[in-house]
Structure 1
Amino acid sequence: MDEYEKIKQGERGAWVSIGSYLVLSALKLIIGYLFLSSALLADGFNNLTDIVASLAVLIGLRISQKPPDKDHPYGHFRAETIAALIASFIMATVGLQVLISAVRSLFEGTEETPGMVAFWVAVAAAICMYVVYRYNDRLARRIDNHALMAAAKDNLSDALVSTGAAVGILGARMGLSWLDAAAAVVVGIIICKTAWGIFYSSTHALTDGFDAGKLLSLRNSIERVQGVQTISDIKARIHGSNVLVDVIVQVDPQMTLIESHRICDEIERKMEKKHNIRSVHVHVEPYMENHKSVKAT
């Protein structure tokens, strides 16, 4: 299965999320308003941002399927990362609005008690979103899609948010009227935290950041390839759901061109088999005894 087919399969997960959020957000906002639950209303607004985030992921996946052209020789895979970045801004805006509204409600000391229907809606929503999370998580791992994996994590956070809303509603029903508003505050914090996580990972990828531990693992794998004397330099960057690796290896200066090419092929095979990396650019240099290798950057 090539990268484009994997991305196409990833669209199914985005559509499942969008459908679930459309139903749940409408239900939570209506029930939260009718049965006086600040926590359920906050959870409903949270799901509205999730619709936008899932749509952004879907659009990014669609653009990523465009083949390489003269302006994009590496393809359009980073479109999904840009879409996730846009979604993080939207989520942060709504999260702050929910947080401000909930804090205001908490300090105003409302005596309204949410209805029991709001509690059962929150419980059902938590179960539903956990099922969606499990589906998207398995699909993302199977096709190795980072955008869908981020969406799955958002699904899990939504399940936790709904669980918190249910606890707040139940507490308010037991006489702790402030607990419903307190749960709404927690919901706002979780929305902002999720937005920050998506923003950080997206900007890290877009600025060619790469995990140092993973880079060391790649270096160790290449060093074990027979014929590689040392590594002069190695770099890696994220391109959508793909990893691009550039490495300079030193080999025996007496080695023939055919033998050097065999080493390059072996490095590429090992990167794909062990690390699922298909884009590796290998540059071969003659090994010199007095040459100091450069550490991975």
Structure 2
Amino acid sequence: MIAQESLKLGIKASRNATLALALLALVKGAVGIYSGSTVLIADAVHTGLDIFASLAVWIGLKISLKSSGKHFPYGYYKAENIIALFVSLLILFSGVELLKEGFTGVNTTSQLEFQGLALVTAVFSVLTIYGLSIYKRNIGTRINSQSLIADAMHSYTDVFSSMIVVVAVLGSMLGISKLDSFGTIVISLLIFKMGVESARDSVLTLMDAWLDEEESERIKKDIRSIPGLIKLEDLKLRKSGLVVFGEATVEVEGETDLKRVELLSEEVKTAVKKEVENLEHIVVNVKPVQRKNFRLALPVFDMNGFQAKLSGHLGKTPYFLFVDLEEGRVGNWKIFENQFFNSEKKGGMKAVDLIIREKANVLAVKTVGEGPYYMLRDNFVKILQIPDGVDTARDVLDRFQNFEEITTPMK
């Protein structure tokens, strides 16, 4: 499903939910006034306020269809957050007023009339809101709309407040009239809590805050695992309505050509999109620096550690020696068997795949073919040429920083 069709489906779902909530609020309000149930009136106000939540999603999805204007290069997405802030203030005011009404009702005795009608309305409200939450969740999941899914979860929590109304009406029918006022107080507190949370989220979003630290750490971990990156210097993410904008600054070794920078930028974007599906745009800044730590790969004939004899052919070498070098000092090392050294086809490419999997960033070799060369280069593995007279791994470790870089494939 293309983005435009997904947005239109989401708009339709949020519109239907808004209209259904408006009708439900009118029914509960009318029955509440007719029967004298303050808790049903409070729940009608609660549902009325829920209309604004669905309306905000509706408006946000509608605005998402609109192209960026001359004075709004980042789009109109934050209009949803501004609307949500005003709605939050209205919710807070309504919560306070209903709370006063609830406390007033505790000190007075009210007779609930048409109890059966009030009870049927309360049960109908529970079933309707539950059905709406399922409907919005299914559509939201189908089009990957986080706002619609969140609104569905909000509706699901409203099911419980409507169940309070059922309990309050039943209590009144059993002669416990105070339950009506206590139910009003509970719902008022829920409304007030919803207003505080909505206002907080709106203000923080307008201030470009990013609150999901766990998601941010997962993204950073994915970016750091990209071959060719020396360091992730900085990652900034900010929400704007339904979408996310970002900026990442990464370090790579030395001067890098434009094609490789583009490839690296795409990998960074993919890592972010893995966690943030509604990513609108991310800027990747690539900074060239001098690498201090290396993971060196060497093709060798045997498993004699640093005394191993060097192999002259990348694809036909029986083993690979991997050595960690930290600011010139030798650290951990391992020898892996090249399971493909007898392969008749693409042995070099399979060997390169092993080098990349082991996260080597430098390869010292006597010769390299065209396919392996470009595969290594695209994965930011620096290729050094082993000169004549260098026969063992120890010789390479002593002199590799003076080796010349291979910049074109060799025959």
Query: By the TM > 0.5 criterion, same fold?
Result: yes
Q: Which structure would you say has the larger RCO, counting Cα contacts within 8 Å and 6 or more residues apart?
A: 1
Distance 1:156 1:82 in 2: 25
Q: How does the TM-score come out when normalised to structure 2? A: 0.66
Distance 1:274 1:246 in 2: 15
SS of residue matched to 1:229: strand
Query: What per-residue deviation string (whole Å, max 9, x for no partner) do you get for residues 57-81 of structure 1?
Result: 4334333322012211111122222
- Higher helix proportion, which one? 1
Could you say which residue in structure 1 is the equivalent of 2:93?
A: 93
Distance 2:218 2:275 in 1: 10
1:3 Cα offset (Å): 4.8
Could you say which residue in structure 2 is the equivalent of 1:226?
A: 227
Matched, 1:197 2:203: no
SS of residue matched to 1:247: strand
Matched, 1:238 2:239: yes
Q: Is the 8 A contact 2:171 2:179 kept in 1?
A: yes
Could you say which residue in structure 2 is the equivalent of 1:84?
A: 84
How many percent of aligned residue pairs carry the same amino acid? 27
1:238 Cα offset (Å): 0.6
Aligned CA distance change for structure 1 residues 56 and 258 (closer, same or farther; 3 Å): closer
Aligned CA distance change for structure 1 residues 90 and 208 (closer, same or farther; 3 Å): same
Aligned CA distance change for structure 1 residues 82 and 20 (closer, same or farther; 3 Å): same
Distance 2:129 2:147 in 1: 18
Matched, 1:112 2:114: no
| 1:281 aligned to which of 280, 283, 293 | 283
TM alignment of 1:15-94, pairs within 5 A: 15-94=15-94
Could you say which residue in structure 2 is the equivalent of 1:216?
A: 217
1:165 Cα offset (Å): 0.5
Q: Is the 8 A contact 2:60 2:242 kept in 1?
A: no
Query: What per-residue deviation string (whole Å, max 9, x for no partner) do you get for residues 224-257 of structure 1?
Result: 1111111111111012211112011111115433
Could you say which residue in structure 2 is the equivalent of 1:251?
A: 252
Distance 2:93 2:120 in 1: 28
Distance 1:261 1:19 in 2: 47
Could you say which residue in structure 2 is the equivalent of 1:294?
A: none
Query: What per-residue deviation string (whole Å, max 9, x for no partner) do you get for residues 236-283 of structure 1?
Result: 101221111201111111543322222112222333345323522111
Distance 2:129 2:242 in 1: 24
- Rg bigger for which structure? 2
Query: What per-residue deviation string (whole Å, max 9, x for no partner) do you get for residues 205-228 of structure 1?
Result: 111110222222111111111111
- Consecutive unaligned residues of structure 1, counting only runs of 5 or more, are 292-297
Query: What per-residue deviation string (whole Å, max 9, x for no partner) do you get for residues 94-130 of structure 1?
Result: 222211111111122x141451221121011111101
Q: Is the 8 A contact 1:37 1:180 kept in 2?
A: yes
- Higher strand proportion, which one? 2
Could you say which residue in structure 2 is the equivalent of 1:126?
A: 126
| Paired letter, 2:271 | K
Distance 1:85 1:9 in 2: 25
Indicate the larger mover: 158-167 or 146-155. 146-155
Distance 1:67 1:241 in 2: 15
Could you say which residue in structure 2 is the equivalent of 1:268?
A: 269
SS of residue matched to 1:71: coil
- Consecutive unaligned residues of structure 2, counting only runs of 5 or more, are 294-411
Aligned residues: CA RMSD:
2.2
Distance 1:100 1:179 in 2: 16
| Paired letter, 2:28 | K
Stretches (4+) displaced over 6 A = none
Q: Is the 8 A contact 2:219 2:271 kept in 1?
A: no
| Paired letter, 1:71 | H
